[in-house]
Structure 1
């Protein structure tokens, strides 16, 4: 499966949206906001690692 930068950036933005939504929920003391923050951060982490991995592989192929 070929993963594009567009998909990775979209995943990263989804993670950012989840974290921001969870932050608003947390200020309103809604239940479950802790889990929403964790899910958003996990998505951001996975997308960030995949972006770095894809970029490193692209640099390795040029040399």
Structure 2
């Protein structure tokens, strides 16, 4: 599967939305908000690593 920047940015935005929603749930005292925060941060981390990896591969291809 070819990863596009659009897909990776969308994944990053989904992670941000999950974290914001979890913060709202946490302020309301709902159960499970800790898990949502962790899930959102993991999604953001994975998306960030993939963006850096894709950009680094693009730079390597230009050097050749």
Q: Which runs of 4+ in 1 moved over 4 A?
A: none
**Alignment match, 1:32:** 32
CA distance in 2, matches of 1:30, 1:2: 38
- CA positional deviation for 1:10: 0.2
Q: TM-score, normalised by structure 1?
A: 0.98
**Alignment match, 1:2:** 2
CA distance in 2, matches of 1:17, 1:35: 14
Structure 1: unaligned runs, 5 residues or longer:
none
Q: TM-score, normalised by structure 2?
A: 0.97
- Computed over aligned residues only, the root mean square deviation of the Cα atoms, in angstroms, reads 0.3
1:11-63 CA deviation, whole Å, 9 max, x = no partner? 00000000000001000000000000000000000000000000000001001
